[in-house]
Amino acid sequence: MTKITPTNLSSIDWEKQNHLVPAIVQDYQSGQVLMLGYMNVEALNQTLTTKQVTFFSRSKQRLWVKGESSGNTLNLVSASIDCDKDSLLIQAIPNGPTCHLGTISCWNDENAKPFLLGLSQLIKTRKNADSENSYTKSLFDSGVKRIAQKVGEEGVEVALAATVNDKEELINESADLLFHLMVLLESQNLSLKDTISCLQSRHKQ
C-alpha cells in the first residue's frame, strides 16, 4: 500500500468509480474494522488537512465529517491506497462508538473482532459479573496482589522455557503470561490498547 498525502491525491484512480473511492476505516490501536464510507477528492483532502475523517455522503450529496452530529469522530492516523489504486485504508483513533447503532463497529459480531480485542472484552465481562463460576472471575476475586503474583510466576516460566529451548512450552507459557497480564491490566481499569498506545508513541520517537 502507498501512503496518501495532500501531494499525491492524483495517484488515485478517481475515474473508475465516478470520482468516488471506498474507504475502509480501521481502529489504529486494535486493528478492528470500524466502517466503510466513500470519499471524493475534496473529502480525502479535508481528511488529510483537518485530521478528522470526512466522507462524501451519497444520499445527501455533500461532505460530512464522521461524528459531526453524534460527536463520535474519527481522528486520522494514516491513509493508504491499495494496489489497484481504487480503494483506501483509513487508520484512525475513534472517539466513541463508530456505528450509528451505538456499537464499536458496523460489523459488531464476535467473528469480526481481532482475537485479542474479543478476549479483552470477555475478561472485562468476567470482572463485572455478579456471579461467575470461572477461573478469570476467581482471579479478580483473589485481588490484585494474587493476579500480580501470577504474572510474575508466568514470566519466570516463559524465561525458563526459553533457556532450555523448549519452543512448545515457550508458546504455552507465553499464552499464560499474556492472559494473566490482560487480567492484571483490567484489574487496574486498563487494557492492552493502553499498552499498544504506549508502544506506538515510543515508535514515533
pLDDT in tens, the chain (205 residues): 688 888 889 999 999 988 999 999 999 888 889 999 999 999 999 999 999 999 999 999 999 999 999 999 999 999 999 999 999 999 999 999 999 898 889 987 666 678 888 898 889 989 888 766 889 999 999 999 999 999 999 999 999 999 999 999 999 999 999 999 999 999 999 988 889 888 888 876 5
Evaluate the CA torsion angle 128, 184, 108, 57 in order and state its sign. Answer: positive
What pTM was computed for the model? 0.74
Number of H helices, E strands in the chain: 6, 7
Strands 21-27 and 88-94 come out as parallel
Cα separation, 78 vs 204, whole angstroms: 13
Cα separation, 118 vs 168, whole angstroms: 24
Does the 115-204 domain belong in CATH 3.90.25.10?
A: no
Strands 2-3 and 74-81 come out as antiparallel
Residue 150 has what pLDDT?
97
Give the bridge partners for 182, in sequence order: none
Class of 2-107 in CATH: alpha beta
Cα separation, 179 vs 183, whole angstroms: 6
Cα separation, 108 vs 173, whole angstroms: 31
Ranges for all domains in the chain classified under CATH 1.10.287.1080: 115-204
Evaluate the CA torsion angle 84, 85, 86, 91 in order and state its sign. Answer: positive
Burial class (CB in 10 A: 0-12, 13-18, 19+), 47: buried
Give the bridge partners for 89, in sequence order: 24, 80
Query: Angle 167-187/135-142 helices, nearest 10 degrees?
Result: 50
Ranges for all domains in the chain classified under CATH 3.10.20.810: 2-107
